[in-house]
Amino acid sequence: KAGVTQTPRYLIKTRGQQVTLSCSPISGHRSVSWYQQTPGQGLQFLFEYFSETQRNKGNFPGRFSGRQFSNSRSEMNVSTLELGDSALYLCASSFTPPTSDQETQYFGPGTRLLVL
Amino acid sequence: QKEVEQDPGPLSVPEGAIVSLNCTYSNSAFQYFMWYRQYSRKGPELLMYTYSSGNKEDGRFTAQVDKSSKYISLFIRDSQPSDSATYLCAMMGRGSTLGRLYFGRGTQLTVWP
């Protein structure tokens, strides 16, 4: 079974630009979560989607947004990029609603974004 | 205070050693506990998953959860150089926080031959 895939894997943008990242979950998974990973802050939760609805949102500014499509694929968008947005953006998928021990999240390889 | 605390290390051990990694947490609503392994420039890989309290063993890895103390551990027996990575503990509650993982900062482990 294919794992979580993320595109693109690497991205270089300049301040003020916007970017869209894509995530395809494991087949059958309907929940997709996004995380930002930086050396200074570690892994921080951005938001989580289930059945095209945002269920949870972390403490990030409104420049960070996302959506989920009917096939469970998800995109996240960052507008007006800042230098501090340089990070590894990780997508994770899981089964949900909960069924015993099948609630773990599986991560993709991430998209490394560099903002110049 | 962060909800999940983890000593970042670094931790350096010889091959064959027993490694102990730990996390503490403050939110009593956490029900699901996970350990991820992350190699440099890769995404986190699920290593162990535990629901509520108790122990779980998988090969050389043992995960322990003590909810009364809000303390979780990962033990690695007969450590190998290929175990060199960053180990992240993660936790999740139910209800409104379902789908959101809370991570520790990660412990960097090096196993030298």
Cα(A43)–Cα(A33) distance, integer angstroms: 12
Among B45, B99, B103, whose Cβ lies nearest the Cβ of A56? Answer: B99
- Tens digit of pLDDT for each residue in A3-46? 999 999 999 999 999 999 999 999 988 889 999 999 888 999 99
- Tens digit of pLDDT for each residue in B64-89? 999 999 999 999 999 999 999 999 99
Query: Amino acid identity, residue A94?
Result: S
- Tens digit of pLDDT for each residue in A67-84? 999 999 999 999 999 999
Return the percentage of chain B with pLDDT > 70, whole number.
96
Among B34, B103, B104, whose Cβ lies nearest the Cβ of A104? Answer: B34
Q: Are A84 and A26 in contact (CB under 8 A)?
A: no
Q: Exposed, middle or buried: residue B50 (CB in 10 Å: 0-12, 13-18, 19+)?
A: buried
Cα(A73)–Cα(A2) distance, integer angstroms: 14
Contact (CB<8Å) B101/A112 = no
Cα(A58)–Cα(B21) distance, integer angstroms: 27
Q: Which residue has the tokens 């089964």?
A: A95
- Pairing assessment for the beta strands A106-107 and B71-76 based on DSSP bridges: unpaired
DSSP state of A111: E
Residue of B nearest to A48 (CA): B99
